[in-house]
Amino acid sequence: VLNVIPENGKALIAHFGKGFEPGEAAFEGLEVRREGDVPPVLCAAHAYVVCRVVNRVDAGDHVLVLGRVVAGELLHHGGPIVHVRKNGLRY
């Protein structure tokens, strides 16, 4: 699931931006919806997209995951948050 963070979602960015240790519960303390074998959907998300992984490609020190969209929903009106870095060399 790709959860699209809403315009007012800075707290969600801070929550997920801190990183998590393997096995640590990333969604603890957040309201989520779980349906069948679909990963958690954030109830506060602007929208979400359910994808099935079709490939993984090594890209330097990252792995690019390619997915086929199989479902999705707009949860709240408004828009997604947009984050723009001043340069592409830092996160």
Average pLDDT of span 18-44: 92
To the nearest whole number, what is the mean pLDDT of the chain?
91
pLDDT of residue 91: 54
Average pLDDT of span 32-58: 94
pLDDT of residue 86: 72
Average pLDDT of span 37-61: 95
Average pLDDT of span 73-86: 85
Angle at 30 between CA 25 and CA 9, to 5 degrees: 115
**Residue 70 pLDDT > 90:** yes
User: H-helix or E-strand containing 48?
Assistant: strand 47-59
